[in-house]
């Protein structure tokens, strides 16, 4: 029997576009829902969980219609995965953590408020997948009770922001990006495997509404798709991953 696993998704950071003319710090916090769907050489698995996310962005002055920013973000959450449903244990524990540090350049049209940017940065992630019930059900000689999938790599992309009613009704943003990631999959019984470099895509859309000039809310949707090649030339295996999130944030600017 092949070993089933619920892999993590690399969250590719969305373009964060500042429409302010002066340097500012923006702090945000939020929660939402995330869904994983996996296929490839392993039984299809699915997990739904509710991540909590925090972030901070520093944006420079807009000079000559351009500026720059640095952003750091962290998210985590727990839920259940059904990677062992074929053994009658469809509800194993799941935990996910993500961290990203990105920097980018912002281009602003002062006349109409339309902004765009390009970014690049680093991204890490860690997923812990429970297998307690599965280990008991199959009576493995060397059972494992937890699997870990760690990722790290480069992310880059760009986006644009479009004001509604000159910004009085908020703004709509769109973004896209790519990720070049490495991964290690291991369990607590000694198994370990590394993936070849994985290339993935990210697409997103958001709506931001400023309640005041310094405080507001954002709704953000993202979709990512990755493909991982594990093993060697004699025992290769592939896992495809699709991941979507819908998040709501509160932000404050200084």
**In contact, 248 and 221? CB cutoff 8 Å:** no
pLDDT on residue 77:
92
pLDDT digits (tens, 9 = 90+) for 192-242: 888 877 888 999 999 999 999 899 999 999 998 888 788 766 777 777 778
pLDDT reported for residue 154: 93
pLDDT at residue 152, rounded to an integer: 86
Q: What is the pLDDT of residues 37-62, one digit of tens each?
A: 777 776 677 899 999 999 999 998 87
The mean pLDDT value for 63-82 works out to 90
Tell me the CA distances in angstroms from 179 to 124, 130, 151, 233, one per residue in order: 11, 27, 11, 24
Confidence of residue 184 (pLDDT cuts 50, 70, 90): confident
- The DSSP code sequence of 31-69 is EEEEEEEE-TTS--EEEEE--EEEEEEEE---BTTEEEE
Q: What is the DSSP letter of 85?
A: G
What are the backbone dihedrals phi and psi of residue 102, each rounded to the nearest 5 degrees, phi first? Answer: -130, 160
The pLDDT value recorded for residue 137 is 59
Please tell me what DSSP assigns to residue 13.
P
Quick one: pLDDT at residue 233?
67
- Domains of the chain (ranges; CATH) run 24-253 (2.40.128.100)
- What is the average pLDDT across 98-119? 91
Residues 163 and 176: their CA atoms lie apart, in Å, by 19
Query: Which of 19-23, 24-28, 56-60, 196-200 shows the lowest mean pLDDT across its residues?
Result: 19-23
pLDDT, one tens digit per residue, over 135-160 is 565 655 557 788 888 888 899 999 99
Position 191 scores a pLDDT of 81
């Amino acid at each position: 029997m092949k070993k089933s696993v619920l892999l993590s998704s690399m969250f590719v950071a969305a373009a964060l576009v500042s429409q302010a003319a002066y340097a500012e710090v923006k702090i945000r916090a939020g929660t939402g829902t995330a869904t994983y769907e996996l296929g490839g050489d392993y039984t299809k698995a699915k997990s739904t969980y509710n991540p909590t996310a925090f972030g901070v962005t520093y944006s420079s002055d807009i000079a000559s219609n351009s500026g720059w920013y640095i952003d750091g973000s962290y998210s985590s959450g727990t839920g259940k995965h059904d990677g062992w449903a074929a053994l009658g244990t469809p509800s194993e524990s799941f935990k996910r953590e993500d961290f990203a540090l990105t920097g980018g350049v912002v281009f602003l049209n002062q006349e109409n408020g339309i902004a765009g940017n390009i970014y690049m940065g680093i991204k890490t992630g860690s997923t812990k997948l429970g297998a307690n019930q599965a280990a008991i059900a199959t009576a493995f000689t060397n059972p494992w009770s937890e699997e870990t999938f760690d990722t790290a790599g480069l992310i880059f992309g760009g986006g644009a922001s479009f004001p509604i009613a000159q910004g009085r009704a908020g703004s709509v943003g769109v973004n896209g990006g790519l990720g070049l990631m490495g991964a290690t999959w291991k369990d607590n019984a000694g198994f370990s495997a590394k993936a070849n470099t994985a290339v993935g895509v990210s697409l997103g859309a958001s709506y931001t509404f400023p309640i005041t000039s310094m405080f507001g809310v954002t709704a953000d949707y993202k979709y990512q798709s990755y493909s991982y090649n594990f093993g060697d030339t004699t025992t290769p295996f592939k896992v495809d991953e699709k991941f979507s999130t819908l998040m709501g944030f509160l932000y404050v600017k200084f």
